[in-house]
Amino acid sequence: MADFSLFHSPPFHSPKTHGFVRVAAATPVSHIGDPKANAEEHLALIRQAADQGVDLMVFPELSLSAYAIDDLHMQAALLDEVERQIAVIAQAAGEHDLVAVVGAPIRNGDALYNCAVVMGAGEVLGVVPKTYLPNYREYYEKRWFAPATARAEDVIRLNGETVDFAPGLVFEAVNRPGFVFAVEICEDYWAPLPPSTRAALAGARILLNLSASNIVIGKADERAMLSASHSARTLSAYVFTASGWGESTTDLAWDGQATIHELGSKLAEGERFALENHLTIADVDVDRIGLDRLRNGTFAECARVEGEPATVVPFMAREDAVESELIRPLDRFPFVPDDAGRLDQDCYEAFNIQVQGLMRRMTATQAERLVIGVSGGLDSTQALLVACRAFDRLNLPRTNILGFTMPGFATSDGTKSNAWALMKALGVTGAEIDIRPAAEQMFKDIGHPYAAGEPVHDITFENVQAGLRTDYLFRLANQNRAFVLGTGDLSELALGWATYGVGDHMSHYNVNGGVAKTLIRHLIRWVAARELVGAEATPTLHAILDTEISPELVPAKDGVIQSTEGTVGPYALNDFFLFYISRFGLKPSKVAFLAHQAWSDATAGHWPANTPDDEKVEYDLATIKAWLRKFLIRFFQTAQFKRSALPNGPKVVTGGSLSPRGDWRAPSDGNARVWLDELDANVPD
């Protein structure tokens, strides 16, 4: 067993403990050609940032002088004052234990450069000159500034100190793994090959852009698109801040746009056209960025082919791991977005992926019939909806869908009636096979105590029923020249919640194998709301959604039915665990931290559209840890052999597939020790 007790244990409830870096895009009020007044605005924002635990903050382009001052850039008095104020700000950044990146015109030899000055620990860490100077439309920068390529050397003297001076500098915190950033300036990221691309390939995980981009109609969307796409392409976080109120409006206007993106997703956006200083803050997950790069072979290969050696500037970052709430969007349901428009789009895509997957398999096999077990539960309902839509699009009669409800020893009247009502409403061919006589014969044949009248409801009792249902379906498929449509979902595959082989584990094609349980609920609601398979089924679909999830294999005891979630845990939590462990490979302690942030308060944050109030629950850390422990055992130790032998089915969600031919490949005889040890060592009870 690994001895994690040998290592220092930082506070669990601090984002810094779990690989987050708190960044801020600063939007100061600008004072035209007044470095001292601008520095005062910077200092006020630095104090605000320090109070909120910010590690790294970035100001707009030429923020110390203002951008739209034209030939005033060439005035010696102004340039001298800029350098004096750089020393003041550097001292303040050191006192407040953060890194500040400000924009300033800097002389070097007989040339003037448009620069980002990086400050930390009370000193200037490095100076990054702008690479691409715009000289078209309203821009005239080459009148005043030299491009980075014009410099004669890679160091510069600033306030008596010699510091690195080059584009593409990579700044790395020696005491905070993954806290690595690089800087570019405005026009640089409009270039076909932004300097930050190579910086990312050299290891920078946070990319900063100091901008003085003026605003015209539609430009804010263009900037956001560039920031999102660049963070996705470079597998990074991208922090952008543009000049705002106070800049000269002689010929231009300014909106002060500030955005923070990570891996293509927007984490934060500031107020545009604001009249006061403000910060846009988010916690960037540099740990997740590193793990995504680790598993992305294309990124690594590109770094080998296109990457260039970079100058790495080391620095000491703040280490105070203060407990605080996470400042970033965090969906309770990673497979179900909170945004109603995005949820609608996701449901549209997921449903049509399932439908087209089934259509293609049917055309490839020239099948005109399929067999499906209809239990009245969520999964079989979703698979049946997919089948109906596929048959409609293939111009096949729904009567060729052969649905069978197969009541066993614990089948309730409610689920059985829902199954029949659904089949009738959808117009499929329905039939019923009572599996109890066959099950009783099997119990007798194998000498199970139940055959002798003993109330033994063990795993054999359950699996005899599950196996018989699937056995019947396969023989019915043979008899009717059809194939068996599977119904088991992604969440059940993660947990191994399926009867192996001749059981619900197996089918000829499974449309649900790539869909998480939490998403299936919303897919059924979405299909019902749009009446995609007809309005007649809508009341039954809502009745099915209101039914507790149960395998209905063990008779109810004292009126309490067998509960799936009572055994394996809430699917809301299990899907959360699955997403972050399988998609990114996060440590269990970090998954627990994120789950606690997402689920500890039902009144906080947003819920997906149409979530019923009774599903808006919360979980404390002890509950999360307990269910995560069970998940780790099931996922890593006991369930892989089932996933190693899966039927075909389409990948649907970005979280990945568990098919051995897809995203997840693992040994069937593994164990969960390392994950359990990490959980126990780093998550408090």
Residue of 186, 247, 552, 651 marked catalytic: 186
- 252 burial (CB, 10 Å; 0-12 / 13-18 / 19+) is middle
Give the residue among 13, 592, 12, 16 at the shortest CA–CA distance from 321: 16
Locate 287 and state its tokens: 């740990």
Strands, DSSP E only, in 109-179? 111-120, 123-129, 155-158, 161-165, 170-173
Distance, CA of 357 to CA of 394 (rounded, Å): 12
Residue of 41, 61, 247, 462 marked catalytic: 61
Q: Is 89:268 a contact under the CB 8 Å cutoff?
A: no
Give me the sign of the Cα torsion angle 539, 542, 547, 549.
Answer: positive
Query: Is 319 marked active-site?
Result: no
Distance, CA of 477 to CA of 402 (rounded, Å): 9
Distances 429 to 396, 401, 426, 634 between C-alpha atoms, Å: 13, 6, 9, 37
Q: Is 72:33 a contact under the CB 8 Å cutoff?
A: yes
Amino acid at 181: F
Q: Which residues face 104 on adjacent strands? A: 115
Q: Is 490:350 a contact under the CB 8 Å cutoff?
A: no
Distance, CA of 236 to CA of 545 (rounded, Å): 39
Query: Is 61 marked active-site?
Result: yes
Locate 389 and state its tokens: 């839509």
Query: Rounded to 5 degrees, what angle do the CA atoms 47, 48, 49 make?
Result: 90
Q: Is 238:268 a contact under the CB 8 Å cutoff?
A: no
Q: What angle do the packed helices 340-365 and 378-393 form, to 10 degrees?
A: 60
Distance, CA of 275 to CA of 675 (rounded, Å): 50
- 314 burial (CB, 10 Å; 0-12 / 13-18 / 19+) is exposed
- CA gyration radius for the chain? 30
Give the residue among 654, 658, 280 at the shortest CA–CA distance from 494: 658
Residue of 41, 81, 115, 130 marked catalytic: 130
Q: Write down the H helix ranges in 447-587.
A: 459-479, 490-495, 517-530, 538-545, 564-568, 571-578, 584
Query: Is 517 marked active-site?
Result: no
541: which DSSP letter?
H
Distance, CA of 343 to CA of 21 (rounded, Å): 29
Residues annotated as catalytic are 61, 130, 186
